[in-house]
Structure formats: structure tokens, C-alpha cells
Chains A and B, each alone.
Chain A
Amino acid sequence: MRKLIIAGLLALAPLCAETIVIRNATIMTVTKGTIKGSIVVKDGKIAEVGEKVMEPQGATVIDASNQYVIPGIIDCHSHIAVDGGVNEGSVSVSSMVNIKDVINPEDIAIYRALAGGVTTANILHGSANSIGGQTLVLKMRWGKDADDMIFQGAKPGIKFALGENPKRAGNPAGGRGAGTPVQARYPATRMGVEDTIREAFTEAKAYKAEWDDYKAKAARGERAIPPRKDLKLEALKEVLEGDRYVHAHCYRADEILMLLRVADDYGFKIRTLQHVLEGYKVAKEIAAHGAGASTFSDWFNYKMEAVDAIPYNAAIMTKKGVTVSLNSDDAELMRHLNSEAGKAMKYGGMSETEALAMVTLNPAKQLGIDNRVGSIEVGKDADLVIYDKFPLNDFAKVQKVLIDGHKYFDRDEEVSSRPGKEAEKQKLIEKEKQAQPRTQGGRGGRG
């Protein structure tokens, strides 16, 4: 019975959008400075922010005295919540595959990310291929199904990758293939990666022309059989038509420039450069192309192409006019992106707001969703995180997380529910152990 009530409540809770007031907090809005005041949330949106607000009657009040509120953290590079492998590593152009098909809303990493203040994440295909799979943006709506996790209205993307990762699959003696008899796959060099991307877009252009031709014929009333729909080229055609963002994994300055030139040649844009550890060397060129840069805080030297990495990368690119975000690329790091942002203050002297923007507003801009999320402003989605301390601090703990005005994480509730969950588990283990001797008689005929 109790279970039923809880299940019922869980089912109902996200349905009825409550009116919530977060009172007496230090609010880091990102776009409008840091204020001491309150936030009113109505119908999943931020209705009012200010030192003094009109508190609607019957609103649920969250007292956040001595606490901090920031916009939900956005991770521009994550691989969580994916079933059955993040790489379609068989071919170096795998644009036919789509992360959307394999979202696993039950991945515990979602809940852990939520507990680290992340409300939105760009879920990417892996970096094994020159052109990887189709990607999408999720909100960490823990407890919902795959469809309901999707950030509706966010433009889908595609993953590219340059350098060591896509080329090592071409070398049977190196990388993941070592020790196992794998057939080498083209490409095996950086030159080959460029060629692979060029070839794919040459093919995509021909494909687009074929469809354009068919559509023109059909418009003229001529009888024609439509071309074969090719999922691989369909996604690249969308890139050419500007309907799909390119998120490109890269490290070295030379390969970054290569990709920007290829994109210019074929007439498409690189939306974000991911990792981009040598971005500081070519920041002007990146800014000129209009690409965003999503990098690590201070990771370096973990592979050859990362030896020239410097922790000032984010700050330097920012100063050269690039929109910079800090990403996790990792389920664990994803849980403390707030302290990653803090590092940008130490290395490069970013302000509090600039640093916080690197995990909120800037990734929102890079994903084209800054009209919806990324800052605490009236009209934006009520994706809010309450911390007990100054958030850009290792010791700050997330207290509550709201997405679309619904509470998806509450530290007190989480901690207090643990003994009950553990007891329930031990009960089941005992039950199954008791049942065991009986089932042991049932030795089947397989053996």
C-alpha cells in the first residue's frame, strides 16, 4: 500500500507544476549579476527574480537562507545514459547511428550527475570515428522515460573526431586493437582523417543534389522515382543544410585548422570544438569561424596529443572572443563541474561570473538553447541548483535541483531514504537465500 502511494505521488509530482518560491538566497544569475533575494517559479518557468518578489499565495516555499542558487549546470560533452556502446567503431563514418535510439533513462549516472547540479547534457557518440553518430541534448529528468528526457527544441548534433582516436583504429598495432587480431580500418593517419571527412561530404553533396533534382522534377509534375533514402548521408545532408550541429573532438592546433578549412570548403559550420586542448594556439581562427570551444579545465599529458595542453586554455580562448565551456566527458567528473569551473578563476583570472558561465550560459549558447536555459532570468526554464556554500568551491554540496520547476533531487530526502532502501534490499536477499535450497534441486539438463 505504501509503495502504491509513493508510486502514485511520483507519477503525479511532475504533472502538476507547482508554484515555488526560493527565498532569501544568494542568486548567481550569470547574466544579471549576483543578488540576495528570491526566485518565483511558475509553470516550470522562472516568473520573477529579485531582492523583493511578489510571493503567490499557496506557493511552496524553499528557504535558502545562507545558501546559493545557480542556473542548472550544462555539460556539453557526456556519454552517460547510453545503452549498448557509445561507439559504432566498425566504420570511420557512422553518421547513420543515433544516440536517440539507445537512451537509457535508468542509468544511475543520470541521478549522480543531477546530484552534482547538472540539469542538461549533450550526449555524444564516442570519438572512434572521423564522423561518428548523431547526438542529442537531454535534461536529467530522472525517473522519466527516454522520450521525456529529451530537451525538446534543442537542435540535434553529430560527433566528429580528429587525431589519435579515429586514426588508431586504422593501426592494428596501436590503441585498442593491440594484442587482438583486428582488421585495420582506414584511416590510420591525420591525413586520412581529413580525406575521410572530405570524401563523406563529397558523397553527401552528390546525395543532396540527387534529392534536390528529384524534388524539382516532382514540383514540375514529372514522374520520377525518389532516390534511396540513406541514413548515413541524410545526417550529413542535414549538416550541409544547417539543420544539425557539428561537435568535433580535437586536440592539436593543426587538426583544428584542417577541420575549419574543410568546413569552409564544403560550406558548413563547426558548432563546437570539443576538448580543443591546443585551442589557445589558434583561438583567433576559431573565433573567426564562429565555433565554440568546449574544453577540460586542467587535464594534460594523458596522451601524446595532450602534451601541449595548458590550464590557461579556457581563459585565453575566452579573451580572444571564443565562447568557451568546460565539459566532463566522464560520468564521475560530471558530478563536480562546479569545481572545474572554479579552476578557471585560478588559471587565467576569470571572474566568478565568467567561470560559472563556462558550465551554464556558455554551453547553453554552444548548444543553441541559451534562450531557454543557462542563466536565471524571467521566462527561462526553472532549472535551478541550490548549494549550501559558494558553488565554485570543492566543499559546496548540492542541496536541491529543480528542472522545469520540479524537484528532481533533494539531498535530505536522498540521505534519509538510504536506511530504508538498504533494509528492503537485505530483506530480498534473505528471502532469496531462504528460497535457494528448494531451487537447487532443479538442476536442469544443461551441463
Chain B
Amino acid sequence: MKKLAIVLLSICACLLAETPSTVAIRNAKIVTVSGPVIAKGTVVVRNGLIEAAGENVTIPADAWVVEGEGLTVYPGLIDALSTVGIPGAAPAAAVAGGRGGRGQTATPTPTAVAAAPRAMGPEDRPQTTSWEVAADLISPADRRIETVRGGGITTAVTFPTRGIFAGQGSVIDLISGEKAGEMIVASPVGQYISFAGGRGFGGGFPTSLMGVISYVRQIYLDIDHYKLVKDAYAKDPRGMQRPEYDRALEGVMASPRILLPANRLVEIDRALHLAAELKQPTIIYGGREAYREGAADLLKKANVPMLISLRWAEFPRDADPDNEPSMRTLENIDQGPAAAVALKKAGVKFAFYSDGVDNPRDLQRAVKKAIDAGLSREDAIRAMTLTPAEIYGIDNRVGSVEKGKIANLIVTKGDLFDDRTQIEMVFVDGKQYKPATPAGGGRGPSTDEPGGNQ
């Protein structure tokens, strides 16, 4: 029976390879996220947009009708921090501490710019590609697009992640298109900053966490000065030395917000201090210890949203029994997934990000862990739909099932994130995609590198 269903589904998928421009899903439960749940209603999709969603919606005559009895429609999921679409990129990591010691922070890995000449100071703009924009790097052929879409992710906020000022992120819709340009929803949406810089003793500047922080600080001081000089020159260039064009500063200036890494409580405190000093709209990513007393209050006070990594700390397998994990490690394993509940209680805006957990089954399990730790299913869904859209200022186009928004939808049998729930259909820009077979394992070779929270 099950086999038959799969065969039927695949036939369906083949037949529908070209989705009609108008689709109506009727008699389905609709989780709009922006408003109340519609127990039985219809969603009409036309030309890639949601034309209507509600209880009493007239189905257009030209629509391909999907019988939604027993099915639930959700907005497509948004991965709030990803590298999908950028070929060869490692999953976005949250290394915040450099050589933190005591096993609490991942060791920084050599970065892609190892071939660059040794930097002697901030003036050499080390490990900086702030001018790179994800939208310019996207390859529609990236195989991870299909993998993550199978988990219901229709939209990814994708970033270049190598370096200190790694580059500007773009929001992309995960269509299997021919042209990268079709995929871009918004760009640029922020500058990805990592503190993982440093190539060890004997490498160029900076090698230490304090070096990285001083570099970040100097960049913003340089921007202040750069603006003054540029403005003065624009007003009257006569008799004035021509200011030098600085692409590193231009790239940072073009970014509407910055993303700072922080996993441990002390790192959250540190990142918030830096954000306040730089006076930049900031998002913090990582959040492994955001469950700890005080973390949520700090974020609330600073009014800074957090992206929580779905790569939860795990109990070491086959570990040396004599080498007991520290109490802190144990608490992180035990309570890490409760971070979202703590932030919710404190009224902090938060979203989840995959951190390289690309495989649909793993993604589902990871979100389920947060739900098991006390997060309501509604809040879990919101943390992967409307909230990330709000955080990046794109909630006017994605994140909920609402008239006029982009038709990014997922259709499930059963509640989203439950163990046995299958994602039946995924719509991106109104086009239907067959979810990748769940248990297949990660496909993209580019997911081999470890994520930040390991």
C-alpha cells in the first residue's frame, strides 16, 4: 500500500513538473502564522503569488485544484542563516571565541584567504570580503537547494561566511531555476561577521579574538572618517587630496545590519557590548547558551534578535569513560534546546537556523527537540517563518500565508515537525516541487564541513 502511494505520488510529481500558473488548494487546514488558523479553507496561488487565502474563497475557473482534505498548508520555512546556493560554502558557523579553551568554543579553522599576503594591521583589511554579495555568488545548480527544500525550506537567508567581514547576505527563494537572478528576494540584508579569524602564531593580523574585535572597531572608526572625507570632497574637490576608494568600507557601509556570533553567555554579553558601541542594527547568531539565566534579559534589554542554531550540543559518543564532560557541557546538552523557550518568555525575537543541518529528517528532529523542551508548536513554526522575515525586514513579502505575499507554501499530512509527518508538497514562487526522499541523507558534498556548534 505504502509503495503504491509512493508510486502514485511520483507519477503525480512527474505530471506536475510544470505547475500551472494558477493553483487552488481547497478544504485544507491553513496555518497562516500571521493570523488565526483556518480550520478549513482555500489558498489560491496565481503567478507565483498568493491571490487569496480564507474560508470562503472562490476557486478560479482556470485553477488546478488540489484536494486538501486532511492536509495542512503552512508558509514555506525560512532558514534564517545559511550558505545554501553558494557553491562550496561551508554551513554557517558560530565560532565566537577563538582560542577559548576549556572545550566551550570551537577552534577557529584557517580561512579561505590563507593565500592572501600576511596582514600587518587593520589597514590591510585582513580576512575581509565585505563587498561580496551572496546574490552575486548564487549558483542555481547547487545541489543543496533540492536537499533543504525537501525539509520544507523555501527561502534561505544565505551569506558568504569566510572571513571576519565575510560579506553581505541575500534572501533567496529555493527554486530550481536557470538564472540566479530569479531566486533573489531581497539583497543585501546584512553583513556576516565572524570572530573566527586568525591563523595562529606566525600568521597575519589578527590572530587573537581581541585582535579581531579591535579590527572590527577600527573598521567603523575608519568608516566615520571615510564619510567625512568623501562628503567634503563631493562638496568641493578643488585643492583637496582625492580620497582613496576603499571597497572594504564600502561593503560594510552597504550592509543594513550586522550579524555577530555568540554562543556562550559571556559571548552574548560581549557581542551586545560591541553592537552598542558600533551603533549598528545587530542580529546575534549561535545561542548555544541562550537558555542560561540572564542571557534572554540581556538580549531583551538591548532589543537585539537572536538566531538559534539547530545544531544542538550532543553527548559525546564512544567517548573515553574516564574523560567526563564538564558540567557546563552537560547542561548545554540537557538544556540547550530550551533556549527558544527562555527567549520567548523574555520577549526576545528569535528564529532558528539550520547551521548545516540540511537533511530533512535531521532538521525535523532538531526543531522537535526545541518543542520537547517546552516551545509551543506555533512558536516553533513562527521561528522559521514570520519571525525571520521580520528580523530581516521582508515580512511584507514572505513568512505567512497572506494575500499578496509570495506563494511559498508547504503542504503536509499531519502536524509540521512531528516524527511521522510527511511533507507532501512544497511550493516556491508558486511552483510545486516534489520533496526529496526523506531518509536519503545529505546530498550536497558541500555539507561535509562541520558546523559552528560542534
The chain A residues found within 8 Å of chain B, CB to CB, are 7, 82-91, 94, 96-99, 101-106, 108, 125, 128, 133, 145-147, 169, 176-177, 180, 182-183, 185, 225-232, 421, 424-425, 428-429, 431-433, 435-436, 439-440, 442, 444-447
A125–B333 alpha-carbon span in the complex (Å):
33
Instruction: Determine if B11 is an interface residue (Cβ-Cβ < 8 Å).
Output: no
A300–B162 alpha-carbon span in the complex (Å):
45
Given A177-B201, A183-B202, A226-B225: A83 and B97 interface contact (C-beta under 8 Å): yes
A105–B266 alpha-carbon span in the complex (Å):
7
Given A90-B211, A106-B264, A432-B315, list of 12 further CB < 8 A pairs? A7-B293, A84-B99, A84-B100, A85-B208, A97-B208, A101-B209, A101-B274, A145-B266, A182-B201, A231-B122, A231-B221, A428-B330
The chain B residues found within 8 Å of chain A, CB to CB, are 97-102, 105, 118-122, 147, 195, 198, 201-215, 217-218, 221-222, 224-225, 228-229, 232, 264-267, 269-270, 273-274, 293-294, 314-315, 317, 324-325, 327, 330-331, 333-334, 356-359, 361-362, 365, 440-443, 447-448, 450
A93–B195 alpha-carbon span in the complex (Å):
21
Residue of A nearest to B232 (CB): A225
**A280 CB, min distance to chain B CBs, angstroms:** 33
Evaluate contact between A229 and B210: CB separation under 8 angstroms.
no
Q: Which residues of B contact A225 (CB under 8 A)?
A: 225, 228-229, 232
A88–B204 alpha-carbon span in the complex (Å):
10
Evaluate contact between B266 and A435: CB separation under 8 angstroms.
no
Evaluate contact between B206 and A88: CB separation under 8 angstroms.
yes
Q: Which residues of A contact B448 (CB under 8 A)?
A: 446
**A236 CB, min distance to chain B CBs, angstroms:** 14
A182–B204 alpha-carbon span in the complex (Å):
10
Given A83-B100, A85-B210, A432-B330: A226 and B118 interface contact (C-beta under 8 Å): no
Q: Which residues of A contact B121 (CB under 8 A)?
A: 91, 96, 232
Evaluate contact between B314 and A88: CB separation under 8 angstroms.
no
A231–B221 alpha-carbon span in the complex (Å):
9
Among A89, A227, A425, A446, point to the contact of B327 (Cβ < 8 A): A425
A323–B347 alpha-carbon span in the complex (Å):
54
A435–B335 alpha-carbon span in the complex (Å):
13
Evaluate contact between B201 and A176: CB separation under 8 angstroms.
yes
Evaluate contact between B266 and A146: CB separation under 8 angstroms.
yes
Evaluate contact between A90 and B357: CB separation under 8 angstroms.
no
Evaluate contact between B211 and A97: CB separation under 8 angstroms.
yes
Q: Which residues of B contact A229 (CB under 8 A)?
A: 221, 224-225
**B336 CB, min distance to chain A CBs, angstroms:** 12
Residue of A nearest to B325 (CB): A429
**B320 CB, min distance to chain A CBs, angstroms:** 13
Evaluate contact between B362 and A442: CB separation under 8 angstroms.
yes
A431–B362 alpha-carbon span in the complex (Å):
22
Among A83, A230, A428, point to the contact of B334 (Cβ < 8 A): A428
Residue of B nearest to A441 (CB): B365
Evaluate contact between A421 and B211: CB separation under 8 angstroms.
no
A271–B330 alpha-carbon span in the complex (Å):
45
**B251 CB, min distance to chain A CBs, angstroms:** 19
Evaluate contact between B357 and A83: CB separation under 8 angstroms.
no
Q: Which residues of B contact A439 (CB under 8 A)?
A: 314-315
A146–B294 alpha-carbon span in the complex (Å):
13
**B132 CB, min distance to chain A CBs, angstroms:** 24
Evaluate contact between B357 and A84: CB separation under 8 angstroms.
no
Given A421-B327, A444-B359: A89 and B201 interface contact (C-beta under 8 Å): yes
Residue of A nearest to B98 (CB): A84
Evaluate contact between B222 and A89: CB separation under 8 angstroms.
no
Could you list some 15 contacts between A and B, CB below 8 A?
A84-B100, A84-B210, A85-B198, A96-B211, A101-B209, A103-B266, A180-B202, A183-B118, A183-B202, A226-B228, A231-B122, A421-B327, A425-B327, A432-B330, A445-B441
A97–B209 alpha-carbon span in the complex (Å):
9
Evaluate contact between B213 and A101: CB separation under 8 angstroms.
yes
Residue of A nearest to B298 (CB): A145
Evaluate contact between B266 and A83: CB separation under 8 angstroms.
yes
Q: Which residues of B contact A435 (CB under 8 A)?
A: 315
Evaluate contact between B317 and A440: CB separation under 8 angstroms.
yes
Among all A-B residue pairs, the 4 with the closest Cβ atoms: A84-B209, A445-B442, A182-B202, A84-B98
Given A433-B315, A445-B441: A146 and B269 interface contact (C-beta under 8 Å): yes
Q: Which of A125, A229, A428 has the most B CB atoms < 10 Å from its CB? A: A428
Evaluate contact between A228 and B221: CB separation under 8 angstroms.
yes
Residue of A nearest to B99 (CB): A85
Given A231-B217, A432-B333: A102 and B205 interface contact (C-beta under 8 Å): no
Q: Which residues of B contact A105 (CB under 8 A)?
A: 266
Q: Which residues of B contact A232 (CB under 8 A)?
A: 121-122
Q: Which residues of A contact B195 (CB under 8 A)?
A: 84
A421–B330 alpha-carbon span in the complex (Å):
13
**B252 CB, min distance to chain A CBs, angstroms:** 16
Residue of A nearest to B357 (CB): A444
Given A102-B213, A444-B442, A445-B447: A89 and B208 interface contact (C-beta under 8 Å): yes
Q: Which residues of B contact A183 (CB under 8 A)?
A: 118, 202
Among B120, B198, B222, B447, point to the contact of A91 (Cβ < 8 A): B120
Given A83-B100, A228-B225, A229-B225: A445 and B362 interface contact (C-beta under 8 Å): yes
Evaluate contact between B210 and A106: CB separation under 8 angstroms.
no
A435–B314 alpha-carbon span in the complex (Å):
10
Evaluate contact between A101 and B447: CB separation under 8 angstroms.
no
